[in-house]
Amino acid sequence: MKPHTLTLHEPVLLADVLQVLAPKSGDTYLDLTAGYGGHAAAIADMTHGEVTLVDRDQNAVDELTKKFTQAAVLHQDFLAACQKLTKENRQFDLILADLGVSSPHLNNAERGFSILADGPLDMRMDPGQELTAHQVVNTWSEAQLTEILRTYGEEPKAAQIARLVVQARPLETTTQLAAVAAKAWPGHSRVHPATRTFQAIRIAVNDELGQLAQALPLMMGLLAPGGRLAIISFHSLEDRLVKQFLKEQAGDAYDAPLQLLTKRPLVASATEVISNPRARSAKLRAAVKK
Ligand SMILES: C[S@@+](CC[C@H](N)C(=O)[O-])C[C@H]1O[C@@H](n2cnc3c(N)ncnc32)[C@H](O)[C@@H]1O
């Protein structure tokens, strides 16, 4: 059995990330979602090169700054970071984006991401940002709520849950929201009935798909020739964006800019899922720039 670890966040698919990125001495490395630096530490140990770490969460940035004294640590969302680095004409041999939330986000009820632990309706990855889950839940129209539940949550009962939410206002806490969403799904289900509602609101609060869709083309310019890009996604909407983008860039034309390193996404082994349940839905796709 794996010994108990005090790591704040266990990196997912680490061996696969190292296999596809194949870091070598002197490589420059950009981590767009550095979090608590699990992937970054393993990669930096192999490259001994320039390291640039990005995260929109101040807690993560504080940990990264302590842990990586030689790295450039940027407290920004990755779209803003890609725009800044593009303006500076920077290029990197290795780029990693391990999307979504970290374990401290999910485990700290105060951050408002947890369905089961009671906390405020927050869900901001960057607590400095204005828009919160509280605003979405309490001020967006029923039509807007239906739309995000349908598109970001892929929730079959989107309209019913949006109506229940509007009727139950004001809602203050995560468990209140979870209880309202659960009313649309009486009886037992394998996943918590509010899972899709929480996913939808979290994606809306953090503009997760907008960030990814706009940053992907910039990542192409930030990759040096021969450079490798790896992206880990945690839900089908993100994975669809990544898959389509990589497929377009690695098309059949002889001058296609990318070559795929993963024809199918790499996923976690049963052993990894047992020791790190967050890895259950992780999908890794990677490509190399020609
Ligand atoms: C899954 S964790 C990354 C964990 C990291 N690979 C590690 O090994 O510790 C995702 C991190 O990305 C950050 N994040 C998510 N979306 C972001 C975005 N659009 N811009 C910047 N950071 C983002 C989150 O705050 C979180 O810390």
Domain CATH number, residue 134: 1.10.150.170
Using an 8 Å Cβ cutoff, are 209 and 151 in contact?
Answer: no
Among 206, 221, 236, identify where a domain stops: 206
Ligand 1 proximity of 93 Cβ (cutoff 6 Å): no
Q: Is the pLDDT of residue 108 over 60?
A: yes
Q: What is the mean pLDDT of the chain?
A: 95
Q: State which residues form the domain around 162.
A: 113-206
Looking at the CA of residue 31, tell me the nearest atom of ligand 1: 6
Ligand 1 proximity of 238 Cβ (cutoff 6 Å): no
* Nearest partner of 11 among 50, 51, 40, judged by Cα: 40
**Are both 167 and 29 inside the same structural domain?**
no
**Are both 202 and 118 inside the same structural domain?**
yes
Q: Is the pLDDT of residue 189 over 90?
A: no
- In one-letter notation, the amino acid at residue 268 is A
Whole-prediction pTM: 0.95
Counting the structural domains of the chain, the total is 2
Determine the average pLDDT of the residues in 198-221: 98
**Are both 136 and 278 inside the same structural domain?**
no
**Are both 236 and 151 inside the same structural domain?**
no
**Are both 96 and 154 inside the same structural domain?**
no
For residue range 59-98, list pLDDT tens digits in order.
Answer: 999 999 999 999 999 999 999 999 999 999 999 999 999 9
Q: Is the pLDDT of residue 2 over 50?
A: no
Among 206, 226, 243, identify where a domain stops: 206
**Are both 196 and 213 inside the same structural domain?**
no
Burial class (CB in 10 A: 0-12, 13-18, 19+), 85: buried
Tell how far the Cα of 39 is from the centroid of ligand 1, in angstroms.
11
**Are both 121 and 199 inside the same structural domain?**
yes
Looking at the CA of residue 41, tell me the nearest atom of ligand 1: 8
Ligand 1 proximity of 63 Cβ (cutoff 6 Å): no
Write the residue with the smallest CA distance to atom 24 of ligand 1: 101
Among 184, 206, 228, identify where a domain stops: 206
**Are both 78 and 151 inside the same structural domain?**
no
* Nearest partner of 136 among 212, 206, 237, judged by Cα: 206
Write the residue with the smallest CA distance to atom 14 of ligand 1: 33
* Sequence-separated (6 or more) residues with CB below 8 Å from residue 44: 29, 51, 68, 71
**Are both 192 and 125 inside the same structural domain?**
yes
Q: Is the pLDDT of residue 142 over 80?
A: yes
* 57 domain-assigned: yes
